[in-house]
Amino acid sequence: MKKLLVILMCLMLLAATAMPTFARTRHRHHRAYASQYAGQRRVYYSYGDRRTFWQKHRDKLTTAIGAGSGAILGGAIGGGRGAAIGTVVGAGGAALYTYKIRKRHRTY
């Protein structure tokens, strides 16, 4: 039982360290369009919707990953009832981090 728990914890740490590789971005091309109005000198930049799946669904995926890891740990420690409790606690903790604690804007 201890070996299984250690193996699961090692796999979770490996998955957590591999997460930043999913967040890489693509090279963006900028297309400029001049305004159709003669009096305005503004330029509209269209970046397109080239966001990755991770960028589009980051909040939901973070919460789901937290719930899944809580279920795995709870199931390993307390069986079926522990898995249910672990799912709720993991989802709650991940949602708290995602929607309240994590910084939304980068500072350069």
Q: State the Cα–Cα distance between residues 82 and 93, nearest whole angstrom.
A: 16
pLDDT digits (tens, 9 = 90+) for 61-103: 999 999 999 999 999 998 899 999 999 999 999 999 988 888 7
The answer to whether position 79 is within a domain reads: yes
The answer to whether position 94 is within a domain reads: yes
**Residues spanned by the domain of 73:** 52-103
The answer to whether position 85 is within a domain reads: yes
Q: State the Cα–Cα distance between residues 81 and 91, nearest whole angstrom.
A: 16
Terminal-to-terminal C-alpha distance of the chain: 47
- The runs of H, that is alpha helices, within 1-108 are 2-18, 53-56, 58-96
Q: How confident is the model at residue 24 (pLDDT cuts 50, 70, 90)?
A: low
36 CB-contact burial (10 Å; exposed 0-12 / middle 13-18 / buried 19+): exposed
The alpha carbon of 37 is separated from its chain's Cα centroid by a whole number of angstroms, namely: 41
Mean pLDDT of 8-13: 78
pLDDT of residue 20: 65
The answer to whether position 95 is within a domain reads: yes
Look at the chain and report how many structural domains it folds into: 1
